[in-house]
Amino acid sequence: MISGFNTSVDFEGNEFHVQTEDLGPELGAFETTVFERGAVVAVKRSRYESAWVSEQGLDALAETIERQHRTVCAAILKGRLGELVRLQDRKSTRLNSSHLVIS
């Protein structure tokens, strides 16, 4: 399992906390959660196959996880968090193991 990333992002006087973590090979997914004042405002989950990790290695997985984290942080700084939230709302009907899945 890969260590996660945590970043505080300030945008127009609002502070967001962005947390990205590997959910482990048994789930084969990693997730970025955006918090504002302790409330979850957006979640992006991405899946990976264990075969891909075996072939590419843990460093490649760590880079992929970090790239998603940086992308979400950049979206907030560009004022595009609303787009991420709208994407979440459109895909909120897809559930897996009682977790919201955003691809």
Are 43 and 32 within 8 A, CB to CB? yes
What pLDDT score was predicted for residue 88? 62
Which amino acid is it at 21? E
Q: Partners of 20 in the beta sheet?
A: 5, 32
**Numbers of helices and strands, H then E, in the chain:** 3, 6
Q: Which two tokens stand for residue 43?
A: 């979640």
pTM of the entire predicted model = 0.79
Q: Calculate ∠ Cα 95-32-66, nearest 5°.
A: 135
- In degrees rounded to 5, what are phi and psi of residue 64? -65, -45
Residue with tokens 């590419």: 56
What pLDDT score was predicted for residue 91? 55
Q: Hey, how many other C-beta atoms are within 10 angstroms of the C-beta on 20? A: 26
Reading the chain (103 residues) residue by residue, the pLDDT tens digits are 677 999 999 999 999 999 999 999 899 999 999 999 999 999 999 999 988 888 988 999 999 999 999 999 999 999 998 787 676 655 543 433 333 333 3
What pLDDT score was predicted for residue 3? 79
